[in-house]
Structures are given as structure tokens and as C-alpha cells.
């Protein structure tokens, strides 16, 4: 621990977005910050998430935005209000990474990928004096409350900081460091942990051999999925053993709960959400003129080959009446038999319940130890909601560290102007 004449030292365990943004807030406040991570470099999950385009946040109206966190909304909304989507965009732009709003309302950096943003971010952290201890695997706490690591060379490392911020992620990306091994050390300290479960994941379906062999990897575009009176428009993709994709992920929490209760869940799949049932039936009333069923459905119904295959999965004998066929196209039943495994999910549910932390995200059982990011028990669909809450909880936990150490959250420093000024103000 630092001497009394030096700024307090804070240990951050986990070098993902939550840990890095916390390090920035604390570094700006003048604290000595060391980020520990078991991987050879930080931000690996951020880089992986940005391979297809880094979805930072979403541009929708804030009231609607907050509802995306479902049961966790009451606890997360105040934290996100302190670092809103527009703050995240401003922060990115201060790093030289301008953002844009896509057609779906999602927000991306103009560079699209995560690597330019991460490079600029790490450069900023370096100027703030943030240090990194890589290839350090956290093992838990000793009897005096010190952090215990296995170092890069396999040596034991003991650290007793003034405060600790844990940002170790969930368990959905084990090869990138988010392996959930933090559950046992916290459980040993008496911290209750909700079981880690897959979120934003695919589901298994008992496809026919034809579906598996001919349509694996085929996209279902411009569809709508309905489950328990909630409808989501988007896309999905057929996998060898099931289905996944953005429209599926948006319903994944409800679907997972139903499968946990009853062993299966049946989705309603609308292959032509752009057409009413009456209009579709009228189109299907056209003469077939010797066309095969597949050709007729493609031309009159506007269905893709994989869409036709979905109809046959639901009904081997397609209804001959236009009205009945239109009803089937607008509501294809799709029975999901299980969830894909946690290590194949985009994110995870479960973790440290909000009842285990105070309003500053400090563990009630462990004063001076804070939790942020996906370690907390919340989940959200893809679309920018995951990263937004990850950043917001990292900032909130860092502000909690400042409060715990008696450091004013209104830091009189010109470096705090801009997007992070809202992160350091009292709410």
C-alpha cells in the first residue's frame, strides 16, 4: 500500500471496458491505479465484439432504452443516467473516434472496428499514469483481505491496495479471459452469487436432416419473432443444431426462462412481416400454372428457399387453401428444445446480485471492494445496451471508490471537462 504522503493505490482486477473506464476515472482523480489481468493484453473481448462493427450504444429515446434492462432497470437506470448514451459517444469522440447512427438506431465508431478506439484509450490511460500487470490470475483474498494472484512466471503475488475494484466479466468468453472463475473466491467470502447462465445466445432445434444438411448457415432476413406477446423484427440464422441471431437474442431471456420452466419454448415466426395476412392470401390465390410448391411460394409469397424449408419443418403437407397457407407463413411455429452452452453465448446472466452491493457498488460484506460490469447480475439484449451498462457501472464503481477513500467526486481538474465530467458529479 502507498505511504500516507502518496495518492492512494487502487487495484482494478479485469482489463475489459468496465475496468478500463474505472481506471480512467480514478487516474483522472490523481490516484495510483494498477489494472491486473490474466491475459497477455487487455480489452480482448472488446476487440472480439468489434470484429463485425463495435456497437457502442443505441440512439433510441432514453425511457425506452432503460426498459431494455428488464428486472435490473431500477438499479441500472440511475447509473446509466449518470453516463448516458450521448456521454459515451462524446467520450469516444474525445478519443478521436467519431460515431454514427446506423439504420437500426445502433451507434458505431466511424472506424467501425474496436482497435483504433482501444489504442487511443490505452494511450490516454498511459498519460494518466495507469499501470498494467498482465498475465496475473486472481486467486482470491488471503486472511488479511489482501489480493492474491498467480503472476506471469507462476509466482505468488500479494497486493494490499487502499481499495479494490473487480471487473472480471461474466463467463461467456473463457478463451478471452471471461471464465467466471471469480465465483468461488467471492463465494468463500460469503458473497451470494446468482448462477451464471447464457444470455444473448442461440437455441437448439430438432431440425430434420434436410434442414441440417442444406440450410445450415442460411440467414432468415426481414422476419419477425413473437414470444409471450412480444414481437421483435430482425434477422436470424439457421445453425446445424438450432437458430441464433439478433432477433433471437432480443427474446433470449424470456425464452431461456420458459425452457427452464417447461423444457421447451415455441416461437412464432412471421416470414413476411411486411405483408398483412389478407394481402398475402390474395397473392397466394394466383394460379400456380404448373409451378412446384417451392417455386410458387418464392414467386407469389416472396419466400426464400430457407423460408420454404421452415414451412415444411412445421407442416410436411402444406395447406392448399391460400388463407391457411398465409396464416402459416405469418405464424410458423418453431419449438426450441434448449439453450446453447454458456461458452458459446455473447454474454451471461447471473452474477453478484444488486442486494450484495450498496449504492456505490461496494460489496456489503467486504468494505473497500467494488464490483462492476458483467459480474453484476443484469442482462440486456445486443444493440449497444451491453456496453452502455458496462461503462456506466464501471464509472459508478470508480465514483464509489472515490467516496470510500474520502476523495471529492467534484475534482477541480481541467482534464475532467467533457464526457467524464458527468461521471464524476454527484447524482
Exposed (0-12), middle (13-18) or buried (19+): which is 322, by Cβ within 10 Å? middle
Structurally, how many domains does the chain consist of?
2
Tell me, yes or no, whether 68 lies in a domain. yes
Residues 159 and 247 in one domain: no
Residue range 65-87, pLDDT digits in tens: 999 999 999 999 999 999 999 99
CATH number of the CATH domain containing 75: 3.50.50.60
The answer to whether 11 and 164 have CB atoms below 8 angstroms apart is yes
Domain boundary (300, 319, 339) is at: 339
Q: Global pTM?
A: 0.91
The answer to whether 191 and 356 have CB atoms below 8 angstroms apart is yes
Residues 280 and 402 in one domain: no
Q: How confident is the model at residue 51 (pLDDT cuts 50, 70, 90)?
A: confident
Tell me, yes or no, whether 3 lies in a domain. no
Tell me, yes or no, whether 241 lies in a domain. yes
Q: Which grid cell sits at 169?
A: 466479466
* Mean pLDDT to the nearest integer, 109-136: 97
Residue range 353-396, pLDDT digits in tens: 999 999 999 999 999 999 999 999 999 999 999 999 999 999 99
Residues 185 and 48 in one domain: yes
Tell me, yes or no, whether 304 lies in a domain. yes
Residues 39 and 181 in one domain: yes
Domain boundary (339, 362, 380) is at: 339
C-alpha span between 189 and 191 (Å, rounded): 6
Residues 260 and 382 in one domain: no
Distances (CA, A) of 40 to 43, 153, 179, 347: 10, 12, 15, 22
Residues 28 and 164 in one domain: yes
- On the CB side of 326, how many CA atoms lie within 13 Å of its CA? 17
| pLDDT (0 to 100) of residue 289 | 86
- Within 8 A by CB and 6+ apart from 96, the residues are 116, 120
Residues 272 and 123 in one domain: no
| pLDDT (0 to 100) of residue 103 | 87
Residues 266 and 366 in one domain: no
Residues 193 and 299 in one domain: no
Tell me, yes or no, whether 4 lies in a domain. no
Backbone CA torsion sign across 137, 139, 140, 141: negative
Tell me, yes or no, whether 1 lies in a domain. no
The answer on pLDDT for 242 being more than 50 is yes
Residue-range definition of the domain harbouring residue 269: 203-339
Tell me, yes or no, whether 164 lies in a domain. yes
Domain boundary (314, 339, 364) is at: 339
Residues 244 and 209 in one domain: yes
Residues 61 and 151 in one domain: yes
Tell me, yes or no, whether 247 lies in a domain. yes
Residues 166 and 217 in one domain: no
Amino acid at each position: 500500500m502507498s505511504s500516507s504522503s502518496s495518492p492512494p493505490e487502487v487495484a482494478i482486477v479485469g482489463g475489459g471496458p468496465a475496468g478500463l473506464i474505472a481506471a480512467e476515472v480514478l487516474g483522472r482523480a490523481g490516484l495510483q491505479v494498477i489494472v491486473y489481468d490474466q491475459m497477455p493484453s487487455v480489452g480482448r473481448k472488446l476487440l472480439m465484439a468489434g470484429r463485425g462493427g463495435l456497437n457502442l450504444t443505441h440512439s433510441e429515446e432514453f425511457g425506452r432504452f432503460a426498459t431494455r434492462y428488464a428486472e435490473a432497470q431500477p438499479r441500472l437506470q440511475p447509473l446509466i443516467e449518470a453516463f448516458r448514451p450521448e456521454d459515451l459517444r462524446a467520450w469516444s469522440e474525445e478519443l478521436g473516434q467519431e460515431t454514427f447512427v446506423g439504420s437500426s438506431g445502433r451507434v458505431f465508431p466511424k472506424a467501425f472496428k474496436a482497435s483504433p478506439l482501444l489504442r487511443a484509450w490505452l494511450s490516454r490511460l498511459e498519460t494518466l499514469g495507469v499501470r498494467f500487470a498482465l498475465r496475473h490470475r486472481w486467486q482470491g483474498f488471503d486472511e488479511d483481505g489482501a489480493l492474491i494472484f498467480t503472476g506471469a512466471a507462476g509466482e505468488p503475488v500479494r497486493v494490499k491496495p487502499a481499495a479494490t475494484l473487480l471487473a472480471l466479466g461474466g463467463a461467456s468468453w473463457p478463451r478471452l479471459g471471461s471464465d467466471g472463475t471469480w465465483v468461488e473466491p467471492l463465494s468463500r467470502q460469503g458473497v451470494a452469487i446468482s448462477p451464471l447462465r447464457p444470455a444473448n445466445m442461440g437455441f437448439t432445434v430438432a431440425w430434420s436432416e434436410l434442414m441440417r444438411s442444406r440450410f445450415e448457415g442460411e440467414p432468415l432476413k426481414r422476419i419477425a419473432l413473437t414470444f409471450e406477446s412480444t414481437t421483435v423484427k430482425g434477422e436470424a440464422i439457421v445453425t446445424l443444431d438450432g437458430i441464433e441471431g439478433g432477433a433471437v437474442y432480443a427474446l433470449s431471456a424470456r425464452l431461456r426462462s420458459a425452457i427452464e420452466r417447461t423444457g421447451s419454448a415455441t416461437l412464432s415466426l412471421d416470414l413476411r412481416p411486411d405483408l398483412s395476412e389478407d394481402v398475402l392470401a390474395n397473392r397466394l390465390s394466383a394460379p400456380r400454372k404448373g409451378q412446384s410448391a417451392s417455386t410458387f411460394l418464392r414467386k407469389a409469397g416472396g419466400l426464400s428457399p430457407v423460408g420454404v424449408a421452415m414451412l415444411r419443418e412445421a407442416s410436411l403437407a402444406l395447406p392448399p387453401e391460400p388463407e391457411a397457407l398465409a396464416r402459416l407463413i405469418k405464424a410458423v411455429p418453431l419449438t426450441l428444445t434448449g439453450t446453447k452452452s454458456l461458452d458459446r453465448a455473447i454474454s451471461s446472466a447471473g452474477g453478484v446480485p444488486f442486494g450484495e452491493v450498496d449504492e456505490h457498488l461496494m460489496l456489503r460484506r467486504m468494505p473497500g471492494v467494488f464490483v462492476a460490469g458483467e459480474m453484476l447480475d443484469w442482462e440486456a439484449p445486443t444493440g449497444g445496451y451491453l456496453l452502455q451498462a458496462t461503462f456506466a457501472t464501471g464509472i459508478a464503481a470508480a465514483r464509489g471508490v472515490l467516496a470510500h477513500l474520502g476523495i471529492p467526486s467534484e475534482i477541480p481538474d481541467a482534464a475532467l471537462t467533457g464526457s467524464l465530467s458527468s461521471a464524476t458529479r454527484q447524482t
